[in-house]
Amino acid sequence: MRLILLGPPGSGKGTQAQRLVQKHGIVQLSTGEMLRAAVAAGTPIGLQAKEIMANGGLVPDAVVVGIIEDRIEQPDAKKGFILDGFPRTVPQAEALDDLLKKKHLKLDAVVELRVNESALIDRVEKRAEETRARGEEVRLDDTPEVLINRLAQYRSLTEPLIHYYSERRKLLTVDGMMTIEHVTREINRILTAIGALEPKTEEPAAQAKKAVKTATKASKLAKKATKGTKKAVKPAQKAARGPAKRASKARATKTGARAASARKGAKAVKKPAKKVTKKRAKR
């Protein structure tokens, strides 16, 4: 799954991205985090970005596009990713489109977290307080003054992306004013609805376990059905043992596909067992 989380600072993109990462095992690619790491490490990109970030401005498009291009190439991003804070301008979105096209990758959706601006200052102040309480360093740009600039940047440069992705039928809007839990649930619900998420399936191990159970039951049924007809018991049991064997193999390999075929085999076994007894009864 490839997803973009779109929303102003303090809308909950980072929180929701982390929750999606935990649930679906894909990576969160936050350009803000990457830039902060670059600033901390004092790399050339960090040196270039430091001042801009401290004032709540946007780092040049070419810089962030370059960062994302490299990051998407990493093995951990192959399964999918959640872009948090990127793209932030139309040229960044266009560059991302080109990048994905070049790599034959599809963007599943853009989830916009819609929030009331009035709530954002409170949220950002709360985030700063919580960070302080954890004994961690507060972000330089998490102050009401810088936030005003970041919001202005969002309105003029990032908000046009709502139209950009809506035209491309990628935009899904979620009410970001709900509780964290509700927002997560709503995001998962819409992602499932558009087919970006598989409906929850059983673990392969659980499927295999079920297959073994069904095969054993089928074997018992086959034995019961052929009770008294000594010769007929043999083929029925043999047929039942087949899927049971396959089922235990599936359990060993833990592959869902094998487990499914084992279950099919277990169902099929009921028929030959019945047929044999009928024939016997006629005679």
- Note if 127 is an active site residue: yes
Of these residues, 2, 13, 19, 263, which one is catalytic?
A: 13
Only one residue has tokens 């279950």, namely 263
Contact (Cβ atoms closer than 8 angstroms) between residue 243 and residue 269: yes
Look-up: residue for tokens 């929180």? 15
Tell which one of 1, 3, 17, 59 touches ligand AMP (CB under 6 A).
Answer: 59
Task: Tell which one of 21, 24, 46, 52 touches ligand AMP (CB under 6 A).
Answer: 52
Answer for the pair 243, 216: CB distance below 8 angstroms, yes or no: no
Q: Which residues does residue 175 pair with via DSSP β-bridges, in sequence order?
A: 114
Span near ligand AMP by CB under 6 A; candidates 58-66, 118-126, 239-247, 267-275: 58-66
Nearest approach, Cβ of residue 55 and ligand AMP (Å): 8
Which has the closest alpha carbon to 259: 270, 246, 268? 246
x/- mask, ligand AMP, residues 81-120, rule CB under 6 A, reads: ----xx-x---x----------------------------
Q: Give the phi and the psi of residue 3 in degrees, each rounded to 5.
A: -135, 145
CB of 161 to ligand AMP, least distance (A): 11
Q: In angstroms, rounded to a whole number, what is the distance separating the alpha carbons of residues 155 and 149? A: 10
Among 31-39, 126-134, 201-209, 248-256, which window interacts with ligand AMP (CB under 6 A)? 31-39
Rounded-to-10 torsion of CA 133, 139, 141, 147: -40
Amino acid at residue number 137: E
* 150 a catalytic residue: yes
Stretch that binds ligand AMP, among 57-65, 213-221, 238-246, 272-280 (CB under 6 A): 57-65
Q: Specify whether 103 is catalytic.
A: no
The one catalytic residue in 19, 50, 71, 150 is 150
Q: Which is nearer to ligand AMP, 32 or 243 (CB)?
A: 32
Least Cα distance to 166 among 98, 101, 100, 114 occurs for 114
Q: For residue 178, what is the DSSP state?
A: S
Q: Which residues are annotated as catalytic?
A: 13, 88, 127, 139, 150
Chain contacts with ligand AMP (rule: CB under 6 A): 9, 31-32, 35, 52-53, 56-59, 64, 85-86, 88, 92, 141, 150
